[in-house]
Structure 1
Amino acid sequence: MKETPISTIERNFVTQAVKHNLRLDGRKNDEFRKITINFGADWGSALVALGETKVLAQVSCELGVPKATRPNEGIIHINVELGQMAAPHFESGRNSELNVQICRTLERTFKDSRCVDLESLCVTTEERVWMLRIDLNVLNHEGNLIDCCSVAALSALLHFKRPDVSIIDNDVHIHSPAEKEPIPMVLHHYPVCASYCLFDDGRLAIADPSVLEERVADSALVFGLNSFRELCCLNLGGTTLTSSNLLLQCATRAARRAKFVVDYVKEVLELDKLAREEDRNSGFTECVRLNKITALAENRLSLRLRNFKLQGTDDLKDETAMETSGDEEVESEEEDGTEKPQKIVSIDSKSAILESNQSNIKWVPDDDGVESNIESICSENVTEEGDESERSLSQQIEKQMQKHSKKESKRALSKKHLHDDAGSDSEEEAKVIL
């Protein structure tokens, strides 16, 4: 499937918005999107979300033969998978231009900068070394894949622990985690990438571009930096050049961004370590339950529901529940047939879970009989307790009975009126015939 082309109107709109320091998602030109990191239950598994761009990273290792030129160093291989889950125009199993660009940028950032201590991966010189494999699977593509993949790779490497080995009679024995504690990775520095897009013939630069801004931009600028503000990689591609002043400004901002991201990764690692030591839930299951991982562009919806309660989930210790509009206000009606307005629960920007607070709810139309209406009222008030709930229930039943009796009386009067009219017409017809 081919990528949808961009119209001239969209291209001009994005360009003019960037010139006025405005963007489609409400950010400024030098503002980055929010980053979220979640670790899996296995070592070396990390899910990173940069806005709506999501990448799943997994680090694995196996014993292999080292290279002849470097007999006492391990090997690192980085693989990026772009499938149709990320975007419809991606093709699985084929190396596209974007795939090759991401792989080469990550290799220069992590391998050529020698951030990983490869000598610590050596088991036996010229015979056995650990071969690391970093698999990056893009789940959703909303722009700036290089930054998201670099953070995912770094988080997975810091979270990964290789099994311990011992040499017995010239044989390498791999110990299970139950026998010996796994060994964490040794990293000299922590590099990440920061991307910019250039507009207006290289005079304007925007940070953390979206997918539409990447396609409209004239050039792309990628910095590979660590927390010490050391440059590991620099990539400038596109159809235009830029000035040295703008390049230095972008490099300074990218260095601050790199330090912020590395500090955030360390903080999340400490939280995951404490959760594992305290035997608390860790992994993607807990993240899904807390509604932290979303597949849609909108992570919250404003709903108006009956008989549901709103339970906040941002803090597990302080779980609070708010009831929706009461059953009495929902079910009670005035004599003229108008309903009272319902109370609407205001949903804030935090994530929430909607759970039903009643059981055996039966939705019955208003035109059914008295028994069905009484049954619906009883089922909707199962959770009420005490004498007050019984009184309110009896009052509602009496109101329903009164309304039903009024309806029946009106129907009877209308039938009687029709019958009387028919009888008078028959008498007049009989007189005429006589």
Structure 2
Amino acid sequence: MKRLSLFVALIALVSTVSPSVAQSATPLRVWVSPATFSPDGDGYRDRTTIVYNVPRNARVYIYVYKGATYVRRLVWGRYATAGNYYRTSWNGGTGSGLRVPNGTYGLRVVARFGPGLRYTLKYQGTIGVAAKNVASTGRWVGFYVPGAPFSTAPLTSLESKVSSQARVVHYFHSSQDNFDSAAASNAIQEGAIPMATMEFWRPGSGVGQPAYRLSRIAAGDFDSYLRRYADDAKAFGKTIWLRPLHEMNGNWYPWAGTVNGNSPSHFISAWRHIKQVFASRGATNVKFVWCPNAESVPNTYANGIARYWPGEAYVDYVALDGYNFGTSASWSRWRSFAQIFGPAYSTITKLTPKSIIIAETGCSPRGGDKAAWIDGMFGSIHFKYRRIRGVVWFNENKETDWRVDSSSATAGMFRLVSAVY
């Protein structure tokens, strides 16, 4: 105990404690050592120890937090007897195991006692994290934000909220829209790569649009549009990521492999044709992003992800889309990042050695802890799905509130873990 130091807390009882109890109560005492530690794995001060002593038999709860975001729950309802000393420790990790960025974190210790645990003692202090030689993983984040990159204001506003600079800015256009050099320039000026999703349909007219079936694309019926787009993109000169025919293994777009007379073989022909048109125009600055949905609908062998693979020579980047709808829909339930993306990740890593991008993802606030889901996503990528090199968050209140800043807690968690995953 002599080596433990700092932060002896003399905290008053909260208003729920009666005067007679308050007058006789001994304060909750807490020691933290070291007050600043360096969780860098060198064996020296890799964790901090919290020792606490309660004046009455109590249930104890200990949290680490940053602003409005709970970073880690260290103790939850542990029974402690009066006068005894108890200890726990923190290794600088979040709930998923990611090491937090250097900085100052809040420590909260709560002891509840009495009938129905109605009385409370609290301690609040700080812990410093100062790891040395923290190496970058090279992973990045990007965003889809309504209005960007046609305007930079929505993007820079979100970047400011989550203290994360987008490396990719995602936007959508239909096959009636030409290449938008101003939008692409805006993204690049903000330090991001523009990723354009090219959708062959009339937006708002639903899936039943056979005029946009895959066989027509493969036959060259849209070549005048594709040539014009390729020429404009080539003239632009900077790198552009193009994502045509995305989520082809779903059943909600006219180009999906199970609607309008389409099939996976039709998809492969259409994809290769689009790629060949761009190659014939010399638009080598346009990089093609092949992106199935993480889960096939319908979920059959004939509609499986592997059936849509066009071949290594026709793909520059491999991506996946997937969302946690939580309980926001009648057919959905709360699911982890691993439950959504794990099977598709396994399939794709057998198809190709290329790195993987999450081109669209988001989490509903309904049905679970969204901040913890965000932590779990980045932790899963860091520890398990290591071929994933970047995540593009879909930041819109649409089918449900996907926005990463739907609450201060979710924005805070994203800010915390996106910097270190």
Task: Give the shorter-chain TM-score range.
Answer: under 0.3
TM-score (norm 2): 0.19
TM-score (norm 1): 0.19
Tell me which of the two structures has the higher relative contact order, counting C-alpha pairs closer than 8 angstroms and 6 or more residues apart. 2
Larger Rg: 1
Per residue, is there more helix in 1 or in 2?
1
